[in-house]
Amino acid sequence: MIARPAVTDIPKVVIAVVTLLAAPAEPLTNAGNTQLVIAALLGIAAVVLLIAWAKVHPFLSLILGAAVLGVVAAVPADKIVTSFSAGVGSTVGGVGLLIALGAMIGGLLAESGGADSLVERVVSRVSGTALPWAMAGVAALIGLPLFFEVGVVLLVPIVLLVSRRVDVPLMKIGIPALAGLSVLHGLVPPHPGPLVAIDALKANLGQTLALGLLVAIPTVIIAGPIFGNFIARYVPAVAPEALLPTRRPLAVAGVRGPSPTGRGGVDADGDLVTEDDLINPGTGRPGEPIDEAATEAVRARRAPALWAAVITVLLPVVLMLLRAIGELTLAKDTAGRKTLDIIGTPIIALLAGVIFAMIFLGYRTGFSRTQVSGFLGGSLPPIAGILLIVAAGGGFKQVLVDAGVGNLVADAAKGANISPLVLGWLVAVGIRVATGSATVATITAAGIVAPLAATLPGPEVALLVLAIGCGSLFFSHVNDAGFWLVKEYFGLTVGQTIKSWSVMETIISVVGFAGVLLLDLIL
């Protein structure tokens, strides 16, 4: 018998903040339902056509698509701008910071040789046919405490390098990694979505966790290695060169032009490089042209220990896992709980990983402070486009939410005379597709079915939480910031992203819900 923790053990502060930020506010327009549906469809169509047909950059396409949506929905112009800006700001403040810190970790892993060490160990221990399964397992394991976005920025660079190193189709190992992260994020506490639903429906946390893992395992297998092996034949993706975690010698030692002082030059990032930085490794004398072969030889001798690279990747995971354990086992007012809440915050955990990497992959392996700073700075330009596109995706989603599109689905579901499990899944699916937000879908669906949950036995309430979680993952498309994150990291077109990522999310939703219904028959 699984002990039922008190409701107060659930992190109320996290739930309150997530609910406040994600729940739709009062609509900005008095437009009728038909007008809102037309506005949403035209806004999404505008984004797709501008990118696929007119070849407009996704960042601009999302801005223009949000404008089309707002105008057709009769939202005042100033409100469109305010809503879009708020969505951009909240996305950059959350996902953007995580992407930047993750890129810094990736840059240090790459330039120090730590990423090469990790990949070589993976490749030497796992055969080609087992790689997709290994990627799915690793992603699911580290996805237990991680937010989806954190897992992406930590895992995807390794996935890209493994794909290039062993010449395995990118989708064949990329989809399993994404599936492992997405399933755990949507179904298993302590992620915010499941926690919000658990609190709203007064479900048993232990039962939800146990049943969630039972549903997650077959769902990851089907949506990950099995689907990845299939879709790799139809989406011939190639790892983007700029995002590969490989060494770029010119980013530190290469000279692109004379410095203003005449001493040294300017590196690939436009930063001043002094004579000390321009010492030729082959002769030991400054001021001579850099011998790239000698530079690589020096780097080979400086290669960090494998343990340093492993800890760099796992440190954020461990810190967030400790926070999750503390939320489930410690009273919220204790010093230990407060400490774990701080160090396990995603931004703090990733920052700790960056600092660890600076010390043990940078300074301790012989790189100078100037070089380490160059590694960190050089990791940011390749992700600038990703940050802008993901941020604009968040702005587009916010205009949808503020216009009241999500409320249409919720209103249509009220009074429906169907099974609570089916109702919860359908409401979550509708709001997810309409707004692009899994969290908004979870919160709204949980609120609608909450009165029904009071009449259900304990295990079925836990299954209702999982049904809502499955529905909240259905068919991610252009109104979801995660769609653009995956598109840019994997170098896909919009069509390829829909064929791979969007279909994978739909498989997760349908297979996971089928598992929930099966458990409902057994329990």
| Judgement on whether residues 283 and 386 belong to the same structural domain of the protein | no
Do 196 and 262 fall into the same domain?
no
- My answer on whether 284 and 428 are in the same domain is no
Domain for residue 350, yes or no? no
Query: Is residue 444 located within the same domain as residue 390?
Result: yes
Neighbour tally for 97: CB within 10 Å:
16
59 CB-near residues (< 8 Å, 6+ apart):
385, 388, 389, 392
Q: Is residue 325 part of a domain?
A: no
Residue 20 is assigned to a structural domain of this protein:
no
Query: Residue 412: inside a domain, yes or no?
Result: yes
CA distances from 496 to 50, 429, 442, 490 (A): 16, 22, 27, 10
Are both 54 and 167 inside the same structural domain?
yes
- Establish if 353 belongs to a structural domain: no
Same domain, 42 and 169: yes
* Matching residue, tokens 């297979």: 511
Q: How many other CB atoms sit within 10 Å of the CB of residue 137?
A: 18
Three-state secondary structure readout of 376-417: HHHCCHHHHHHHHHHHHHHHHHHHHHHHCHHHHHHHHHCCCC
Looking at residue 414, what is its pLDDT?
Answer: 66
pLDDT confidence of residue 25 = 52
Judge whether 261 lies within some domain.
yes
* Residues 410 and 505 placed together within one structural domain of the fold: yes
Q: Same domain, yes or no, for 70 and 144?
A: yes
Q: Which of 289, 316, 345 is the last residue of a domain?
A: 289
Residues 403 and 459 in one domain: yes
Residues 433 and 465 reside in one and the same domain: yes
For position 422, what pLDDT does the model report? Answer: 93
Give the separation between CA 111 and CA 134, rounded to whole angstroms.
25
Alpha-carbon torsion angle 24, 29, 35, 38, nearest 10? -50
Determine contact, residues 189/204, Cβ cutoff 8 Å.
no
Rounded CA separation 11/118 (Å) = 35
Q: What is the pLDDT of residue 270?
A: 37
Q: Is 425 exposed, middle or buried (0-12, 13-18, 19+ CB in 10 A)?
A: buried
Is 1 domain-assigned? no
Q: 14-48 in b/e burial notation, b at 16+ Cβ within 10 A?
A: bbeebbeebebeebbbebeeeebeebbebbbebbb
Number of domains in the chain: 2
Return the pLDDT at 145. 57
Look at residue 247 in the predicted model and tell me its pLDDT: 58
The pLDDT, as a whole number, for residue 70 is 93
Residues 197 and 169 in one domain: yes
pLDDT at 243: 74
Q: Tell me whether residue 352 is in a domain.
A: no
Quick one: 394 and 443 in the same domain?
yes
pLDDT at 23: 45
Q: What angle do CA 197, 203, 204 make, to 5 degrees?
A: 130
- Which structural domain range is residue 209 located in? 31-242+382-522
The pLDDT profile of the chain, 523 residues, written as one tens digit per residue, is 333 333 334 344 444 434 434 444 566 777 788 898 899 889 888 988 888 788 888 889 889 999 999 999 999 999 999 999 998 998 888 778 887 888 888 788 878 878 777 767 776 787 778 889 988 888 887 666 566 877 787 788 888 888 888 888 999 999 999 999 999 888 877 666 787 788 778 888 778 888 988 999 999 999 999 999 999 999 998 877 777 766 554 433 333 333 333 334 434 333 434 434 444 444 444 444 444 554 455 455 566 778 888 888 888 878 877 887 887 788 888 999 999 989 988 889 889 999 999 999 889 888 888 888 988 988 888 778 878 887 888 888 888 888 887 777 667 766 667 888 998 999 889 888 887 878 778 877 887 788 778 778 878 999 999 999 999 999 999 888 889 989 988 999 999 999 999 999 999 999 999 999 999 999 8
